[in-house]
Amino acid sequence: MTVRVRMAPSPTGFLHIGGVHTFLFNWLYARGRGGECLLRIENTDTSREVTEAVDQIQRSLAWIGIDWDRPVTFQLDAMERCRELAAKLVADGAAYEDEGAIRFRMPDDGSTGWDDAVRGRIEVPNAQLEDVVIVRSDGRATYNFASPVEDMDDGITHVIRGEDHISNTPKQIQILRALGHEPPVYAHLGSILGPDGKKLSKRHGAVSVDEFRAAGYLSEALVNFLALIGWAPDGETTEMTVAEIVERFTLEAVSSSPGTFDYAKLDWLNGRYLRALTPDAYADRLLVFLHEQSIGWDKERVRAAAPLVQEKIGRFEEFPGMVGFLFGFVDPDVTLLDPAILAAAGKAFDPVEPWVAAGIEVALKALCEELGRKPKEVFLPIRVAVTGSRISPGLYESLELLGKDTSLARIRAHAAAS
């Protein structure tokens, strides 16, 4: 039997990272088994639909690298089909009308259970199952009816979703059986929580795919990170390519307990990915990021500056702050400046030709010697005068890139009169 899964977002807003996590696991499972992964928009609640959401969801998935097979489907398109099946259930006595709506008749005795692919056997007393509304009084099917119906019609073999759906599962199984269809395999994933143990939300930090993108995370780092929440190939491996994750992923190895979203670990992992990029690839990705952020800095200059920060930042978001001094004026904190040292530096740099890092280094070392001061004491005021901050890329390289004229101008602007 060919595996077929589905990703079923509701178009109520941006794509939440928790949803991406669920979709990723569906996608990994299908891709690792030569199966199909469908995208179904569950929009039966028209009142909550957000216009831009459908496009945005697809864009977010594309950026993450999660693709899908066959055209996108919309649950609202299955309403007619759902009404027909509901009518059939009423005719069979399995459902009944109630104030204009149609309710499915749940059994009162016994229990409904299934072998959850990640949790094992789950059994729920049927007495807990109320007669759910399957068609609203306005004729639209509800989620609990449309979803299993579409799973049936689409030939879904595995329903991989969040644990908040566990209590819907026995109801959907009953409905499917009444329809004469054998239920798919269900797999319920643990939720993703914020650092405080509550459901991950806006106040914890970035939650939508767009936010992670705008913060300068690499999609492959995000995928790697997400894969490791609730799943691990072994006890050692943490850095894996998508291909490797696809190859090693199994539902059996998925954990059933909830996981906390650790932003610090994501930052570390993203930094690892960033540093592993070749200088060219790094600059390419950085340029794409800056373009998305509407930062129109000179491309060649950005390429030249990129290598200076590749080892220093964990997200592209940090780039502008780190090298802004190369693209605009600086406003140094004068209390960190030392006019005497700056005056001496101005003189020491004057004869340096050509203006390259190696020559600058020699001049700077000689200056330290001459002043009888330690490098860190001499470098600080120069760094602040030139970059506007006590934290910057390497000083020699920064000076070289800034250019001799600008560098000297910034140094002399705060130097003691001679």
Site for RNA contains 394 (CB under 7 A) = yes
CA distance 297 to 11: 36
Residue 40: helix, strand or coil by DSSP?
A: strand
Q: Which residues, numbered 22-61, are part of the site for RNA (CB under 7 A)? A: 42, 44-45, 48
Short-list 239, 320, 236, CA closest to 276: 239
What gap in Å lies between CA 120 and CA 187, rounded to an integer?
A: 9
Question: Which of 68, 143, 217, 273 contacts RNA by CB under 7 A?
Answer: 143
Are 123 and 115 contacting, i.e. CB atoms less than 8 angstroms apart? no
- What order of strands is seen across the sheet that includes strand 73-74? 4-7, 36-41, 73-74
Should residue 392 be labelled a site residue for RNA when binding is judged by CB under 7 A?
A: yes
Nearest distance in Å: CB 228, RNA: 4
CA pair distance 172, 125, nearest whole angstrom: 14
Query: Of residues 252-271, which lie at the interface with RNA (CB under 7 A)?
Result: 252-253, 255-260, 262, 264-265, 267-268, 271
Asked if residue 4 binds RNA (CB under 7 A), the reply is: no
Q: Which is nearer to RNA, 2 or 128 (CB)?
A: 128
- Outline where DSSP puts E strands in 138-229: 158-162, 185-189, 192-193
Pattern 273-292, RNA, x by CB under 7 A:
--x-----------------
Q: How many residues bind RNA (CB under 7 A)?
A: 80
Q: Which stretch binds RNA (CB under 7 A): 23-31, 85-93, 174-182, 234-242?
A: 234-242
Site string for RNA, 166-205 (x = CB under 7 A): xxx---------------------xx-x---xxx------
Which CB atom, from 36 or from 397, has the smaller least distance to RNA? 397
> Residue from 99, 182, 331, 405 that binds RNA (CB under 7 A)?
99
DSSP at 16: B
- Helix (H, G, I), strand (E, B), or coil: what is residue 147? helix
C-alpha distances in Å from residue 183, one per residue of 25, 113, 148, 170, 380: 20, 11, 8, 10, 69
Q: Does 247 bind RNA (CB under 7 A)?
A: no
Question: Among residue numbers 317 through 346, which ones bind RNA (CB under 7 A)?
Answer: none
Site for RNA in 62-81 (CB under 7 A): 75
Q: Does 98 interact with RNA (rule: CB under 7 A)?
A: yes
